[in-house]
Amino acid sequence: MRHPWPLERPLAEAFQTTILPAARAARYAALAEEVAAVLEGEPNLTARMATVAAMLSHAFEAYFWTGFYLVDPERPGELVVGPYQGTLGCLRIAFGRGVCGAAAAERRTVIVPDVEAFPGHIACDTRSRSEIVVPVLGPEGALIGVFDVDSTELAAFDETDAAGLERILAETFSR
């Protein structure tokens, strides 16, 4: 089967993290372009989320768990695990509970340098030491879910990560 896009190599081989810039801000900017190019014309939300999780997971060594928790339309106020890369994730998280629940309830990015210091942190995997969670909004501004990244390193995330992730997620899901 021929792909609808002109590639010299299969898609997975076309995305090479080794050619991305080393500086994080530049890497996020390059990734935003790569993600947009790969997802161009793809309307399926699950495919879009799975691709974003995979591309980001492979782009940063500090990323230990990378994925989505989605608003469950059948259980308002609750997130359910969506497409992700990494070890098993928690299946469900209530709004306001843990880092993901806080980001969903407050609709804001939450950076946690040390998960042990975050009140009510949910340890889906005890190897996680720091975390960043970004709300994911749809075209009408409704909360679709959150994008969660965990690291085994303390203080792995900062405002550079927040800005980069917020840009990629807004460009991918808000338009």
Range of the domain at 90: 11-173
65 within a domain of the structure (yes/no): yes
111-167 pLDDT, tens digit per residue, is 999 999 998 888 888 899 999 999 999 999 999 999 999 999 999 999 999 999 999
Q: What are the strands of the beta sheet with 130-137, ordered from one edge?
A: 92-94, 78-85, 65-71, 143-151, 130-137, 110-112
In a domain, 68, yes or no: yes
Query: Which of 2-11, 31-40, 116-125, 163-172 comes out lowest in average pLDDT?
Result: 2-11
In a domain, 44, yes or no: yes
- Residue 73 resides in a domain: yes
CATH number at residue 133: 3.30.450.40
Instruction: Identify whether 5 is part of a domain.
Output: no
Q: Do the beta carbons of residue 138 and residue 161 sit within 8 Å?
A: no
Which residue in this structure is represented by tokens 């806080």?
102
- Flag whether 146 is in a domain: yes
